[in-house]
Amino acid sequence: MLKKYGVATALSLLIIAAPLSGAHAESINDMQKRQNEIEQKKSEIDKNIDSKNSELNHLESAEKDAAKELESLLKSIDETNKKLKEQEGKVDSENEKLKQLKKEMEKLRNDIRDRQKVLDNRARAIQTTGTATAYLDMIFEANDFKELIDRVTVVSAIVKADQDIMQDQKDDQDKLKVAETTSEKKLENLKVLAVELEVSKNNMESQKQEKNDLVMALANKKDLTKSEQTLLASEQGALTDEEKRLASNIAGEKAKQEAAIKAAEEKRMQEAASSANNSTAINNSGSGSSGSTETVDSGGGGGQFIKPASGILTSGFSERTNPVTGKYESHKGQDIAGGGTITVSAAASGTVVFSGFGASGSGFGGYGYVVKIDHGNGYQTLYGHMRAGSLKVVTGQRVSQGQPIGIMGSTGQSTGQHLHFEIHKNGVPVNPAPYL
């Protein structure tokens, strides 16, 4: 914006000079040039305002879509929570059944022990008293046929009772074995179910965090765009005010110039009627005065880890230009790229210390869906940009080397599907290449 035009000084010179001086013409030209610049600037601002309006409409549309997606996701989470409660009820029911089964198993064990005592006592009696021979003696010492039949019947009943005890013993032992196997399977199924429920819940909560971050980012960007609109409108208003001042100054300058020209012409005609000597003297005096100048203020102004996913190494551990931010910075790991559905596996066995969406301020911002595993001895690995909803592990879970933990994706600060893989030693990122 122009700060000073030097109009007053130029006008005072016009009253003295007969012709219009170059300084006045330049002053008007400068102001007219500035008017053209303002018109161009206002046109650019109009285009920028239109662009911001379009951007704002797009952001509002995106914000509505994200809000709808978040609302839908919250409904899904509610439904999942209901299912989780149902599953928890089933788990509680199975636990009650297991308690009952344990009681039955304990009863079977007691029955088996009791019958085993009877059989053991019978076996000791046979060894010490010769009961088996006594059975035969009792049969053959019968006095008559009827007594023989009676004694055979008694001996048969005793033998039958012993056989029934042994059969019951075998049946109960078989039942106990089946019951123990069933119990172990149910316990294993409950553990698997618990892990699946935790993984499902973790994925849903991670997606919720991602959508919340998106809605917040869109809202912040919308506020920023509105602020930019306000600044543009303010700048446009200032230019309009300056344009009005310039137009007023130009009109006043022209009016004063025309008045000065008219006065100079009248003076010239009066001087022409005087004597030649006086006219010459006056003209010489006027010529000397025209040498004045105008002052204008211009202003100023090792092999212990396995490769976590199949694919091509597209970027290694090095200094590079960030493809998202454009900044030259350290790339603290490897980028492994591939198409389609590619499983990401744990590079070594360890404990999951984080599994979820890397929200701003979480220490994992920009990584999208990320998993971090602690392997002990100061080593940790990080797996970033995985597909939304694909995480297969939860925080605190033990994993083995090669166990699937997610699917390669392009979430967070990413320009395409790939896995960002890091190895940390004592908290410091190191080049993964020598360790694979």
User: In the numeric block, which tokens belong to residue 389?
Assistant: 């909803």
Using one digit for the tens of pLDDT, what is the confidence trace for 183-196?
788 778 878 887 88
| pLDDT for the residue numbered 305 | 96
- At position 129, the amino acid (one-letter code) is T
Distance of CA 418 to the CA centre of its chain: 15
- Which range in 76-85, 156-165, 343-352 is most confidently predicted, on average pLDDT? 343-352
**Triad 73, 74, 75: Cα angle to 5°:** 90
Q: Which residue has the tokens 């662009």?
A: 51
| pLDDT for the residue numbered 140 | 67
Distance between CA atoms of residues 211 and 77, nearest Å? 13
Question: Mean pLDDT, to the nearest integer, of 58-79?
Answer: 83
| pLDDT for the residue numbered 80 | 78
- Which range in 76-80, 264-268, 288-292, 308-312 is most confidently predicted, on average pLDDT? 308-312
Residues in Cβ contact with 435 at an 8 Å cutoff, skipping those fewer than 6 apart: 302, 303, 304, 305, 423
**CA end-to-end span of the chain, whole Å?**
63
| pLDDT for the residue numbered 34 | 82
> Model confidence at 282, in pLDDT bands (50, 70, 90)?
very low
With 90 as the cut, is the pLDDT of residue 233 above it?
no
| pLDDT for the residue numbered 139 | 66
> Model confidence at 418, in pLDDT bands (50, 70, 90)?
very high
With 70 as the cut, is the pLDDT of residue 211 above it?
yes
> Model confidence at 316, in pLDDT bands (50, 70, 90)?
very high
Write the secondary structure of 209-222 as one string of H (helix), E (strand) and C (coil). Answer: HHHHHHHHHHHHHH
| pLDDT for the residue numbered 422 | 97
> Model confidence at 223, in pLDDT bands (50, 70, 90)?
confident
361, 367, 371, 373: CA torsion to nearest 10? -80
Question: Mean pLDDT, to the nearest integer, of 166-182?
Answer: 80
Distance between CA atoms of residues 154 and 168, nearest Å? 21
Q: Is the pTM of this model over 0.85?
A: no
| pLDDT for the residue numbered 127 | 57
Question: Mean pLDDT, to the nearest integer, of 408-412?
Answer: 96
4 vs 143 pLDDT, higher one: 143
Asked which of 134-143, 263-272, 354-363 is least confident by mean pLDDT, the reply is 134-143
Query: Could you tell me which of 141, 162, 139, 136 has the C-alpha nearest to residue 150?
Result: 139
Question: Mean pLDDT, to the nearest integer, of 422-435?
Answer: 96
Distance between CA atoms of residues 165 and 172, nearest Å? 10
110 vs 4 pLDDT, higher one: 110
Q: In the chain, what are the domains?
A: 30-257 (1.10.287.950), 312-430 (2.70.70.10)
> Model confidence at 76, in pLDDT bands (50, 70, 90)?
confident
Burial of residue 378, with CB atoms counted within 10 A of its CB: 0-12 exposed, 13-18 middle, 19 or more buried: exposed
321 vs 357 pLDDT, higher one: 357
Distance between CA atoms of residues 14 and 264, nearest Å? 9
| pLDDT for the residue numbered 134 | 60
Using left for φ > 0, alpha for ψ between -120 and 50, and beta otherwise, residue 426 falls in left
Query: What's the mean pLDDT when you consider all of the chain?
Result: 79
Query: Could you tell me which of 391, 347, 350 has the C-alpha nearest to residue 369?
Result: 391
Distance between CA atoms of residues 166 and 58, nearest Å? 83
Distance between CA atoms of residues 416 and 315, nearest Å? 13
**Triad 211, 212, 216: Cα angle to 5°:** 115
Query: Could you tell me which of 199, 221, 216 has the C-alpha nearest to residue 369?
Result: 199
User: In the numeric block, which tokens belong to residue 53?
Assistant: 């309006």
Phi, psi for residue 330 in degrees, rounded to 5: -75, 135
- Which range in 10-24, 166-180, 267-281, 420-434 is most confidently predicted, on average pLDDT? 420-434
Is residue 332 within 8 A of residue 366, CB to CB? The reply is no
| pLDDT for the residue numbered 26 | 52
With 60 as the cut, is the pLDDT of residue 428 above it?
yes
Using left for φ > 0, alpha for ψ between -120 and 50, and beta otherwise, residue 364 falls in alpha
Asked which of 49-53, 128-132, 324-328 is least confident by mean pLDDT, the reply is 128-132
> Model confidence at 337, in pLDDT bands (50, 70, 90)?
very high
> Model confidence at 263, in pLDDT bands (50, 70, 90)?
confident
Using one digit for the tens of pLDDT, what is the confidence trace for 236-255?
888 888 888 888 888 888 78
- At position 400, the amino acid (one-letter code) is S
Question: Mean pLDDT, to the nearest integer, of 211-226?
Answer: 84
User: In the numeric block, which tokens belong to residue 390?
Assistant: 């694909």
Asked which of 67-71, 332-336, 353-357, 367-371 is least confident by mean pLDDT, the reply is 67-71
> Model confidence at 290, in pLDDT bands (50, 70, 90)?
very low
- Which range in 18-22, 131-135, 293-297, 299-303 is most confidently predicted, on average pLDDT? 131-135
- At position 395, the amino acid (one-letter code) is T
Is residue 316 within 8 A of residue 334, CB to CB? The reply is yes
Phi, psi for residue 112 in degrees, rounded to 5: -65, -45
211 vs 432 pLDDT, higher one: 432
Long-range contacts of 74-78 (CB under 8 A, 24+ apart): 74/208, 76/204, 77/204, 77/205, 77/208
Distance between CA atoms of residues 253 and 244, nearest Å? 14
